[in-house]
Structure 1
Amino acid sequence: MYMNERYSRQIRLTDFGIEAQRKLFSASVLVIGAGGLGCPALQYLAAAGVGRIGIADPDVVELSNLHRQILYGTESLGLYKADAAAARLRDLNPDVAVEPYIYPVDQHNALSLFERYDYILDGTDNFESKYMISDAAAMLGKPLVFGAADQYDGQLAVFNVTGPDAIAANYRDLFPEPPGKDQIGNCADNGVLGVLPGIIGTMQAAEVIKMITGVGTALVNQLLIYDIRNQQMSKLAIVPSTISYRLPASANEFIAMNYSLNCGLSDDDIEEINAQRMEQLYLGGGTLLVDVREERETPRLDAAKFVLAPLRDFDSFLNNHYKEERIVLVCQHGIRSLHAAQQLQEKWGNDKKIYSLKGGIAKYPQYFVAKTKLS
């Protein structure tokens, strides 16, 4: 199996050979997120002959994914990403055992899931997941390959591996403090050039392969920053944070952590509703619908039904007075609308009932695209 033609081009490499190929086939990697970062990482890990690959992603393939998640095709629309990715990887390389997980990775399952794999690759696109994944990997001492892609900029690092300086940095050494409410975003909100996560995800796969085989030097205790606009790369050393932080000391403490709250995403008293409930509230009267996206974002909603109040200038909206008793806030994926709802809650207290559209406009295209009921 090791010597077949499939792997011949890498086996013949100087310092690689059959021994490195054996190491790959004996290794296991869990990829969390089968999106823009995860897709290229999964393809190259499977093609290289990593013996066992886990794919954790609860989402389904959407049309807006396809400009960067090229593991999928039009026929994949509506399928679970983990299942669609697993089918493609099994076809790409039948030597590899592929295990899809179509549930979210959270505090209740992360530790037990991570224990089954040698390496963890973070392909998520939000701060809550990254802090949770980092803490779980650090608790277990699992090497974690971090990647991020936003607009035109990418980042890459390897955590929980001891470097020549006897330091094993983790994500909290790089970002000890979770971002504030107004700083949170992801590629769904900010946009991303499709090829960028492909580049970063491929780099993540390369870091995993280097660590497994011992070929080359992994990006340990360093942050690589990549700007695709000018093909410029730079590296920064990651040193122990000067800001005090403490990792969870036990599984129970880890489970008790509130990563949403720590990242400014408290949902206390904020009810997240679906589009059907939003429609019922609107048709019943006394409900104001508010779009907190930027003017340039699509689809544009009917101005007669939706008030446009971009989150970046939300103070202007807060200073107005509205007679409606209920307010429903919407955005593309339900992240910014939740932050806006929290700001309303802080400003107006219990004077009005405030809702956020869970999953955002992208989750309910039938309500916001052609022939919608609300726009």
Structure 2
Amino acid sequence: MKIPPLVEADAALSNRELERYSRHLLLPDIGLPGQKRLKNSRVLVVGAGGLGSPALLYLAAAGVGTLGIVEFDRVDVSNLQRQVIHGESDVGRKKSESARDTLCEINPFVTVEIHDQRLEVDNAEDIISRYDLVVDGTDNFATRYLVNDACVLAGKPYVWGSIFRFEGQASVFWENAPDGLGLNYRDLYPEPPPPEHAPSCSEGGVLGILCASIGSIMATEAIKLLTGIGTPLLGRLMVYDALDMSYRTLPIRRNPERRAITRLEDYEFFCGLHREPEATPEVPGISVQAFKQLRHEGHPHLLVDVREQREREICQIEGSISIPLAELLAGRGLERIDKETPLILHCKAGGRSRQALLALQEKGFTKLHNLEGGILSWIREVDSELAAY
């Protein structure tokens, strides 16, 4: 079903812009009115990472007049495999500034507005209300629910995408969409998955070029909504499998049990990231510096790496043994460890090893410590020769 254009064709185009956008102007469905709508548009992109990068690049090239970027992170070398808006010389820079500079080089007729901050409950409604449409390139459930609910309250359409390993998804949510098509993200995901069942790309990996596939779909949906062309993904979930090179479109139905969204809430608590104090048992920890000293002094211990083998192929602490978390939770590999030997557990950043420690406590192990900050802290503070990831 066609949707009326989201933006009026009030902007004027210079001769240089007419030349730049000539291939759009030749398209019957876009033409001069559609290009004027794009120039008159204000689009907010949340995140300048894997999905935000291609979406921003193509929205700028297409001539969207104002692009807002919400991003608080800095460019890391591990980003460059997929976050193509940044380059080697940008490592260490704020992603928002790196993205702005790239976009201005691509199209000087685009105004870039930077929101160099984390999107939070206390600023989301104010930021989102300034734009016509939101493109969400974030990688965590808490922010997705926040963006969704703020868009519902502001009456804004919300273009969403998600990627993991070799698969991506995309859809459009708009509570106030005409002709009864109004849905929101909670119709697709009424409840977030438990945190342990929602691994990030930094833990599970992602095919870099998958970001371009899903990010370009998201940018396409934004352009369709802004100009009123084609049939947007309202009420439909598009699923892409890069290994099979297959696309599927699944219907999304309104959840009859979902509650009305009347205010923003604590989304980290909603997603299980902050438990009640009594539900968060304390675990004994050891800093990387203390562990370094322990090794230097020759105290007996066993270092257990609970990461996956693929992660150990990137980097590992010398002398560690491998018992992946899934194996440990299933009770396998325990014959390799002695209850009388002090155990130091580690993973990438400390979360999975904490889970492993709690599981071992239930099995009667008492001489346990969690390496605080995981191997990333070890690399930062002790052994910078190892490859971070």
Within-5 A mapping of 1:315-354: 315=329, 316=331, 322=339, 329-331=346-348, 334=349, 337-342=350-355, 344-345=357-358, 348=361
Q: Which residue of 2 aligns with 1:310?
A: 324
Write out per-residue CA displacement over residues 169-194 of structure 1, whole angstroms, 9 at most, x where no aligned residue.
Answer: 11111111211243111222111111
Amino acid at match of 1:295: Q
3-state SS of the aligned residue for 1:168? coil
For residue 9 of structure 1, the aligned residue among 23, 48, 60 is: 23
Matched, 1:259 2:272: no
Amino acid at match of 1:196: L
- Which whole-Å CA distance do the structure 1 matches of 2:192 and 2:324 have between them? 23
Alignment RMSD: 3.2
Gaps of 5+ in 1: none
Q: Which residue of 1 aligns with 2:5?
A: none
- Which whole-Å CA distance do the structure 2 matches of 1:352 and 1:227 have between them? 45
For residue 280 of structure 1, the aligned residue among 272, 290, 302 is: 290
Q: Which residue of 2 aligns with 1:145?
A: 159
Q: Which residue of 2 aligns with 1:108?
A: 122
3-state SS of the aligned residue for 2:146? helix
Amino acid at match of 1:42: L
Alignment coverage as a number of residue pairs = 360
Gaps of 5+ in 2: 1-11
Write out per-residue CA displacement over residues 127-153 of structure 1, whole angstroms, 9 at most, x where no aligned residue.
Answer: 222222222222322211110111111
Contact preservation (8 Å) 1:169, 1:240: yes
Within-5 A mapping of 1:1-375: 2-3=13-14, 4=17, 5-161=19-175, 166-241=180-255, 244-246=257-259, 248-251=261-264, 254=265, 257-260=266-269, 262-263=271-272, 266=275, 268=280, 277-284=287-294, 290-297=304-311, 298-304=313-319, 306-315=320-329, 316=331, 322=339, 329-331=346-348, 334=349, 337-342=350-355, 344-345=357-358, 348=361, 355=370, 357-358=372-373, 361=375, 365-367=379-381, 371=385
- TM superposition shift of 1:57: 1.8
Q: Decide whether aligned partners of structure 1 residues 352 and 2 sit closer, same or farther in structure 2, where only a CA change above 3 A counts.
A: farther
Write out per-residue CA displacement over residues 39-97 of structure 1, whole angstroms, 9 at most, x where no aligned residue.
Answer: 00000111111111111222221222212112121111111111100011011111111
Higher mean alpha-carbon deviation, 27-36 vs 174-183, is at 174-183
Amino acid at match of 2:346: L
Taking structure 2 as the reference length, the TM-score comes to: 0.81
- TM superposition shift of 1:308: 2.9
Higher mean alpha-carbon deviation, 157-166 vs 31-40, is at 157-166
Contact preservation (8 Å) 1:162, 1:168: yes
- TM superposition shift of 1:110: 1.6
Q: Decide whether aligned partners of structure 1 residues 309 and 367 sit closer, same or farther in structure 2, where only a CA change above 3 A counts.
A: farther
Contact preservation (8 Å) 1:126, 1:185: no
Q: Decide whether aligned partners of structure 1 residues 29 and 163 sit closer, same or farther in structure 2, where only a CA change above 3 A counts.
A: closer
- Which whole-Å CA distance do the structure 2 matches of 1:236 and 1:36 have between them? 24
- Which whole-Å CA distance do the structure 1 matches of 2:118 and 2:339 have between them? 38
- Which whole-Å CA distance do the structure 2 matches of 1:368 and 1:299 have between them? 17
Contact preservation (8 Å) 2:305, 2:346: yes
- Which whole-Å CA distance do the structure 1 matches of 2:210 and 2:282 have between them? 35
- Which whole-Å CA distance do the structure 1 matches of 2:367 and 2:146 have between them? 33
Taking structure 1 as the reference length, the TM-score comes to: 0.83
Q: Decide whether aligned partners of structure 1 residues 128 and 258 sit closer, same or farther in structure 2, where only a CA change above 3 A counts.
A: closer
